[in-house]
Each structure stands twice: as structure tokens, then as C-alpha cells.
């Protein structure tokens, strides 16, 4: 079995049931899309555009796109890149590429022209599917994209060098193309987050993609009646692998444009969402909006929302405590993983382990874990070491990078680069990224531990701790603090609160600034290091890549 078999099963068993819903807030940007296919919805809470696909329509569209690619000469081994914002066409394009036998290459929608060119070249992509938001960026480097032989445009007003997705795909048959695809064939190339330079290309097979659906479904038990509110970017493994649980259960997913807290909660109410996956800043924004009175919970029906889970970065226990105080009936979960392990699920907390909030959990469904020293030997329980994982979702390789592959894959184990420790009950706690550890006067400081403590301060919205060069100690901990809207915070107040930390862990420098995060919610510490001149720290990090 491969992943596309699940889509075909759903189309047979529940052809008329809704598979995907796309919702867009009523904005000027939204009006530039192909709205003849959307309906305008007016409710008591919002006005928005809506589009739906049933399971049969989803599968038919994927088949049509696969046949379109085959007609264009795309064959097994070819690479098809997707550069789209979240939209209802994203997943049919993804599944159509898989059905054609080609390898799908999702691209980060924040990539610059230079990064787009780099990733297309590295992945050997020969087809680029892109949307209106990327016309200028693609156009700026089109002369460099010598391997791209076909451009397919999703949306209106397509450039003259591209074929129209909407105008062409309907001309092709909705029958499944006759392509012999085996579980161990190449299926997808994902890119690492690239926060320390240009990203690496991570190659997965059809077998590993299917394992993502199995793992997610085993962890969260999606049923046919569940409704998944899908907000994070689909190019990333995180959101898509959690959606794979909906695919396996044949349940509905709502693709939501926009992360405004009121919009998110109103949609959760109107669409009767049962599961919502958030990033730390989004969950915090929702709670802050509720505290300010910007969201009136009495006007919403959230009784059906059964679970909120968070991934992609360490989760402050204080955030979960705040959420549970407002929503005591919600189950909470967190998952840990990397794009190299097909996203979340390698480590899993489990809703039954709410008493262990702060931990990322234990080995996920079908996975094994170890915490090892620099020689690869397991450390004693309670000691800090590097987390390594082994399981069905481990990547095949870093594409065209045997040296990096050999450094990360050893005897089937994936070396994550994350420092962690295990408590007396076997639960794993992230300490920090290996490359983010601050060495102050020979003492290791783990920024996540400092950040978790400081987040308890009521006026702090977000915080990032980085190492900054210091002549005597080598480097010191600097805290970049983003203050909550409408509040004022002084350095003296921060230092007074930080006195609750051991002296060596207290930030030696306080900086008030916005904390940058990438689309998957991870703090972009390299940007902060560059901004504040931590030159030798950047050099140390680059060497570890």
C-alpha cells in the first residue's frame, strides 16, 4: 500500500462526503484569486470566501493532474516542485504528482528568488507549479532555471510562459494513470528549515509517507466525524502529516487562510472543528486575545473541540496551563519530529500524560529513541545528550549530499542535533539545539531552560535567548524580549524576575525587540545573532551543520 491508496479508498467509500474546505477572510488580496469557484459566506461572526471538495472530487482532480503531467512527459524519477500558499488545490497537486510517479518537491512560500533558484537546482526539478504570489520572485530568476521545462500556474492572469492549471487540468481524464509505483520508490523531497544557511534536500519514499499517516492516526485516533482545522503551511511536513490522520479516517479538514486569533476561533466554532494544531505564538495570541476581551467565548460554540496540540518547537508548560484553565475539557498533546523523520510523531507525549507537560514524551508509534554522548554511547538517565531516533519515517537520504547523510544517519539511527534528557519515568525533555548551546566560561547554558522560566513573567509575549561574544567568558546569554501589546516592561523588572534562576543562568544582557519566527513557529535565532553581532557563535553553528 502507498499513501495515494488511502485517497482512492476514501473516494470509493465516501464519494460525496466533504474532504477539504478552504476558507479565506474577505480581503482585497482574496479578491484577486479565481473566485468564480468560491462562494461568499456571511455569518454572525465573519464574511469569508469558501470552497469545498468531496473525496471523489479530490481524487478526480489528483488523477486529472497526474494525467496532465504524464501528457507533458513527466515520468518516474522526474521532480515536480510546488510553490503555493495554502489553498484547496495544494493537496490535489501534491497527490497528483505522487500518482504520476514523479517525486513531489514542496517549497517554502517565504523563499526569496535566490532560495527558490537554489532549491529547484538542488532538487533537479523539471516542473514548477506556482501561484500569483510568486510571479515576481520566479520571474526574477527564470533565466537561471535551466532545468525547469514546464511552468504550471494556479490562479488567474497566468504569465505567458506558464500553462494554466484551472484552464488545462479539466481536459484530462479523471481515471487513475497506469503507473507501477512501489513503496520504496522515491516520493518527496522536503527542505530543512534553512535557518543557518541554504537548506538541505530531504528525500522520502512512498513507504515513509504512508508511515506518517499510520503514526498520526495511532496517536490521535481520528474518527470519521472529526474536523481538523489546518492552519500551518502545507509545504512543511508538520501540518501535512497531522492531516494524514484525517486522510486515514476519511474525515473533513478545513484549510484556513490567516492566523488572526478571532478569525481562528470563529472558524473553529462555525465549522465545528474537533482538532486544532497550533504553533506556540498562535496559541499565545489566542489566549492574549481572550484575556483582553477581544474574543467573546460566550458567542462561540466550541463544545465539540476535543483536542489542541502543539508541535514544531518546545512548548512552555505555562502556556498549556493557561489553555487548560480556559478550556478544561480539551485534551492536550505534543509531538516531536523533524523533516528528516517525516515531521511530528517520532516522539509523542500522549493525551493521557498531561501531568508530564514540558516533556516531548516517549518514542512514538513504531519508533525507538536513545540519548547519546559524542561517541554515540547512551548516557545515564537524567544526563544531557543528543537525541537520536529510529523508525519507519526516517528519510532515505539528504539528496545529492552523501557527506551530510553519513553524518546524520548511522546504523539506521537519525541524529537529530537536539540535546535532551530523560526523567525517571522515561519521558524525554528537550534541553536545546546542539548548535544553540551557549558556553559561558566553560559552563554549558541551555537557552530553552532560560526561556521557559522567563515566559512565566506576565508581561513577556515571547523571548529568545542567544549567545553573544564576551571577551572574558567567551559568550554570555542575551535575552531578546518581545513585550505583550499595551504593556511596558523595564530591564530592572526583568532582572528582578530572573533572580529566580541560578546566578549563572541569568541573562547578562536584556534587549527589547520583536522575536522572529519562521512559518513553522521556530525562533530564527541566526537572524538575531546576525543582528546583534554574535559572529563567533554563527561560525560555531555553521561548522555543526
Work out how many domains the chain is built from and give that number: 1
SS3 readout for 351-399: HHHHHHECECEEECCCCEEEEECCCCCECCCCCCEEEEEECCCCCCEEC
Q: What is the pLDDT of residue 319?
A: 86
Assess if residue 449 is contained within a domain: yes
- The mean predicted confidence, pLDDT, of the chain is 89
Assess if residue 426 is contained within a domain: no
Structural domain for 462, as ranges: 437-544
CB within 8 A of 317, min separation 6: which ones? 357, 358, 452
Lowest-confidence pick of 105-114, 184-193, 313-322, 433-442: 433-442
The answer, yes or no, to whether residue 123 has pLDDT greater than 90, is yes
pLDDT band (50, 70, 90) for residue 536? very low
Assess if residue 393 is contained within a domain: no
The answer, yes or no, to whether residue 376 has pLDDT greater than 90, is yes
Q: What is the pLDDT of residue 175?
A: 97
The answer, yes or no, to whether residue 369 has pLDDT greater than 50, is yes
Q: How large is the average pLDDT for residues 373-385? A: 93
12 is written with which cell numbers? 470509493
The answer to whether 521 and 280 have CB atoms below 8 angstroms apart is: yes
The answer to whether 523 and 515 have CB atoms below 8 angstroms apart is: yes
pLDDT band (50, 70, 90) for residue 499? very high
For 27-52, the pLDDT digits (tens) are 555 555 544 466 666 665 666 788 99
For 312-365, the pLDDT digits (tens) are 666 778 889 999 999 999 999 999 888 999 988 999 999 999 899 889 999 999
Q: How large is the average pLDDT for residues 99-110? A: 95
Q: How large is the average pLDDT for residues 100-128? A: 95
The answer, yes or no, to whether residue 537 has pLDDT greater than 60, is no
Radius of gyration of the chain (CA): 23
Assess if residue 463 is contained within a domain: yes
Q: What is the pLDDT of residue 29?
A: 56
Q: What is the pLDDT of residue 195?
A: 43
Long-range pairs, 435-438, Cβ under 8 A, ≥24: 435/196, 435/540, 435/541, 435/544, 435/545, 436/466, 436/467, 436/525, 436/541, 438/465, 438/466, 438/467, 438/475, 438/476, 438/477, 438/537
Lowest-confidence pick of 118-132, 209-223, 387-401, 475-489: 475-489
Q: How far is CA 148 from CA 92, 128, 151, 235, in A?
A: 21, 7, 7, 19
Q: What is the CATH number of the domain that holds 536?
A: 3.30.300.30
SS3 (DSSP) at 448: helix
In this structure, the strands spanning 201-205 and 186-191 are antiparallel
What percentage of the chain reaches a pLDDT higher than 70?
Answer: 90
- Residue in this structure with the C-alpha cell 546569554, named with its chain if needed: 477
Assess if residue 231 is contained within a domain: no
Assess if residue 513 is contained within a domain: yes
Kind plus residue range of the DSSP H or E element containing 151: strand 150-154
For 171-218, the pLDDT digits (tens) are 999 999 999 999 999 999 999 865 445 789 999 999 999 999 999 999
CA triplet 346, 349, 352: central angle to 5 degrees? Answer: 140
What percentage of the chain reaches a pLDDT higher than 90?
Answer: 67
Q: How large is the average pLDDT for residues 144-166? A: 94
Assess if residue 520 is contained within a domain: yes
Q: How large is the average pLDDT for residues 411-425? A: 93
CA distance 345 to 209: 12
Assess if residue 16 is contained within a domain: no
Lowest-confidence pick of 61-75, 369-383, 412-426, 524-538: 524-538
* pTM value > 0.95: no
CA distance 263 to 286: 10
Q: How many residues make up the chain in this entry? A: 545
The answer to whether 225 and 274 have CB atoms below 8 angstroms apart is: yes
SS3 (DSSP) at 271: coil
- Residue in this structure with the C-alpha cell 509545504, named with its chain if needed: 235
Amino acid at each position: 500500500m502507498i499513501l495515494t491508496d488511502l485517497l482512492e479508498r476514501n473516494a470509493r467509500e465516501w464519494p460525496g462526503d466533504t474532504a477539504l474546505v478552504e476558507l479565506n477572510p474577505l480581503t482585497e488580496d482574496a479578491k484577486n484569486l479565481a473566485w468564480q469557484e468560491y462562494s461568499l459566506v456571511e455569518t454572525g461572526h465573519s464574511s469569508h470566501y469558501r470552497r469545498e471538495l468531496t473525496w471523489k472530487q479530490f481524487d478526480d482532480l489528483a488523477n486529472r493532474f497526474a494525467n496532465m503531467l504524464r501528457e507533458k512527459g513527466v515520468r518516474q524519477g522526474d521532480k515536480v516542485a510546488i510553490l503555493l500558499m495554502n489553498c484547496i488545490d495544494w493537496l490535489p497537486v501534491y497527490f497528483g504528482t505522487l500518482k504520476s510517479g514523479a517525486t513531489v518537491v514542496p517549497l517554502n512560500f517565504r523563499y526569496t528568488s535566490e532560495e527558490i533558484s537554489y532549491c529547484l537546482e538542488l532538487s533537479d526539478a523539471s516542473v514548477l507549479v506556482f501561484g500569483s504570489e510568486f510571479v515576481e520572485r520566479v520571474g526574477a530568476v527564470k533565466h537561471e532555471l535551466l532545468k525547469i521545462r514546464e511552468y504550471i500556474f494556479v490562479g488567474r492572469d497566468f504569465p505567458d510562459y506558464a500553462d494554466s492549471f484551472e484552464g488545462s487540468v479539466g481536459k484530462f481524464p479523471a481515471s487513475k494513470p497506469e503507473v507501477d509505483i512501489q513503496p520504496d520508490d522515491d516520493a518527496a523531497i522536503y527542505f530543512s528549515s534553512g535557518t543557518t544557511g541554504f537548506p538541505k534536500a530531504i528525500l522520502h519514499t512512498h513507504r515513509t509517507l504512508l508511515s506518517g499517516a499510520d503514526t498520526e492516526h495511532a496517536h490521535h485516533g481520528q474518527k470519521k466525524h472529526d474536523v481538523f482545522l489546518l492552519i500551518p503551511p502545507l509545504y512543511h511536513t508538520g501540518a501535512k502529516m497531522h492531516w494524514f490522520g484525517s486522510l486515514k479516517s476519511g474525515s473533513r479538514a478545513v484549510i484556513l487562510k490567516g492566523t488572526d486569533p478571532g478569525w481562528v476561533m470563529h472558524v473553529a466554532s462555525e465549522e465545528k472543528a474537533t482538532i486544532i494544531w497550533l504553533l506556540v505564538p498562535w496559541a499565545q495570541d489566542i489566549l492574549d486575545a481572550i484575556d483582553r476581551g477581544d474574543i467573546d467565548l460566550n458567542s462561540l460554540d466550541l463544545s465539540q473541540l476535543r483536542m489542541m496540540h502543539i508541535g514544531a518547537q518546545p512548548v512552555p508548560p505555562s502556556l498549556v496551563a493557561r489553555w487548560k484553565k480556559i478550556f478544561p475539557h480539551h485534551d492536550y498533546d505534543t509531538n516531536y519530529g523533524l523533516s528528516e523523520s517525516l515531521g511530528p510523531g517520532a516522539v509523542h507525549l500522549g493525551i493521557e500524560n498531561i501531568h508530564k507537560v514540558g516533556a516531548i514524551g516517549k518514542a512514538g508509534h513504531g519508533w525507538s529513541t536513545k540519548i547519546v554522548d559524542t561517541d554515540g554511547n547512551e548516557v545515564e538517565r537524567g544526563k544531557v545528550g543528543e537525541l537520536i531516533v529510529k523508525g519507519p519515517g526516517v528519510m532515505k537520504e539528504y539528496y545529492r549530499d552523501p557527506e551530510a547523510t553519513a553524518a546524520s544517519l548511522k546504523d539506521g539511527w537519525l541524529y537529530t542535533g537536539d540535546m535532551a534528557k530523560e526523567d525517571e519515568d522515561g519521558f524525554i525533555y528537550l534541553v536545546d539545539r546542539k548548535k544553540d548551546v551557549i558556553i559561558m566560561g566553560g559552563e554549558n547554558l541551555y537557552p530553552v531552560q532560560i526561556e521557559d522560566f522567563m515566559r512565566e513573567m506576565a508581561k513577556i509575549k515571547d523571548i529568545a535567548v542567544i549567545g553573544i561574544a564576551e571577551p572574558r567568558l567567551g559568550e554570555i546569554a542575551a535575552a531578546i524580549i518581545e513585550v505583550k501589546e499595551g504593556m511596558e516592561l523595564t530591564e530592572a523588572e526583568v532582572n528582578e524576575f530572573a533572580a529566580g534562576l541560578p546566578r549563572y543562568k541569568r541573562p547578562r544582557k536584556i534587549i527589547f525587540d520583536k522575536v522572529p519566527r519562521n512559518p513553522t513557529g521556530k525562533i530564527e535565532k541566526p537572524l538575531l545573532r546576525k543582528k546583534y553581532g554574535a559572529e563567533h557563535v554563527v561560525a560555531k553553528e555553521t561548522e555543526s551543520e
